[in-house]
Amino acid sequence: MAQDKKDFIDLNQFSKEELLSLLESCHDRKNSKKRNGHATVDDDQVGSGKILATIFEKPSTRTRFSFEVAMLQLGGKTINVSMNDMQLGRGETVQDTAKVLSRYVDLAMLRTFKHSTILDFAMNSTIPVINGLSNQSHPCQVLTDLMTVEEKLNSLDSKIFTWFGPANNMLNSWIHASDVLNFELRICAPEEYQVDDEIIKGSKSNIIKINDVNEASKNSNCIITDTWFSMGEDHEPDKEKILEPYRVDKSKIEKADKDVIFLHCLPAHRGQEVEDDVIDGPRSVVWDEAENRVHAQKAIIDWCLS
Ligand code: CP
Ligand code: NVA
């Protein structure tokens, strides 16, 4: 990685102070938008004259649109490409692609299968690189989620978070956030789909593995779930059966704190990992969470360019 550039790869690259400051910047972006009514631009125009490349190896709705809208509102432009439409799809190396794109654009966001593709791109480019989701992590989404929790519950201090469902890229980023910010994270999953001990071996005791679905959400301030089948994973009927008890339904919400909020990064598979009456219910904040992607992307872009 070039020393004079800032890559946004994972939340555990930050200290607690740095992460809280990035969160403050997310709120500032949203608040200044509110003050300006529905103005289409941010006052400081930190993206002015800059171009962001967004490169996708997997589908996306929120990440794609929110980065594009964020960059437009910051005064910059985005070039959006699917990896298959690039020579990458025909075997040109990530390393060579990174060197060439560094001559064209000012920063790049990648959504890939292998996490190592993003790391290779970052190592071989002279521009900031943003992880827009890999099989290993989804830091842009969890930064947004932390912002949403602060917005709804005022602060992250002493909050208890409960994850329902199989371990995946989203959970890994939640583990990173818990490591940095020290909040209690309960991971409620069946043994077969629990997080690997290897992943949490360096974590502090604030990460708790639990498989009792009746206990996991007790007193919880935030309940989180995600798809049971991430992009690229085979739909195994056995897995679906094993996960049935981990579906977020009203009974899990009722056991939690009375002000609990429900988060889902979306897309949701209604009736699978979550019931309609939860995602559409009074404790769900998923639409604000989705909106906040735009504000958080701006904070990330600003951080990368500063
Ligand atoms: N939550 C999220 O990253 O959504 P997309 O896959 O639509 O980008
Ligand atoms: N875990 C999901 C997140 C989608 C935003 C996936 O990787 O498909």
Q: Please give the domain boundaries of the chain with CATH numbers for all domains.
A: 11-138+292-305 (3.40.50.1370), 139-289 (3.40.50.1370)
Distances (CA, A) of 52 to 13, 34, 35, 188: 22, 25, 26, 38
Instruction: Report H helices in the chain.
Output: 16-35, 62-73, 94-101, 115-123, 139-153, 169-181, 197-200, 237-243, 250-255, 276-279, 286-305
Going from the Cα of 62 to the center of ligand 1, the distance in angstroms, rounded, reads 5
Terminal Cα-to-Cα distance of the chain (whole angstroms): 16
Q: How confident is the model at residue 37, as a pLDDT?
A: 65
How confident is the model at residue 38, as a pLDDT? 60
Res 34: pLDDT:
72
Q: Which ligand 1 atom is at minimum distance from the Cα of 111?
A: 8
* pLDDT reported for residue 292: 98
DSSP sequence for 56-114: ESS--SHHHHHHHHHHHHTT-EEEEEEGGGSGGGGT--HHHHHHHHTTT-SEEEEE-SS
Residue type, 232: G
Contact (CB, 8 A) for 151 and 288? yes
3-class secondary structure, 118: helix
Tens digits of pLDDT across the chain (306 residues): 456 899 999 999 999 999 999 999 999 999 987 776 666 788 899 999 999 999 999 999 999 999 999 999 999 999 999 999 999 999 999 999 999 999 999 999 999 999 999 999 999 999 999 999 999 999 999 999 999 999 999 999 999 999 999 999 999 999 999 999 999 999 999 999 999 998 898 887 799 999 899 999 999 999 999 999 999 999 999 999 999 999 999 999 999 999 999 999 999 999 999 999 999 999 999 999 999 999 999 999 999 999
pLDDT of the residue at 32:
86
300 secondary structure, DSSP code = H
Amino acid identity, position 170: M
**Model pTM greater than 0.95?**
yes
Ligand lying nearest the CA atom of residue 67? 1
CA 112 – ligand 1 centroid, Å = 13
**Quick one: pLDDT at residue 102?**
98
- pLDDT in the model for residue 204: 75
Structure tokens at 40: 């289409």
Closest ligand (CA of 167): 2
For atom 7 of ligand 2, the residue with the nearest CA is 230
Q: What local confidence, expressed as pLDDT, does residue 3 receive?
A: 60
pLDDT for position 41:
85
Using alpha carbons, select from 264, 175, 257 the residue that is nearest to residue 217: 257
Structure confidence at residue 48 (pLDDT): 96
Mutate to test the pocket of ligand 2, among 67, 142, 228, 230 (most ligand atoms within 8 A of CB): 230
Ligand 1 mutation target, pool 61, 110, 112, most atoms within 8 A of CB: 61
Contact criterion met (CB below 8 Å) for 103 and 127: no
| Per-residue tokens: 122 | 């970052």
Ligand 1 atom with minimal separation from the 290 CA: 1
Residues designated catalytic: 111, 138, 141, 226, 265, 293
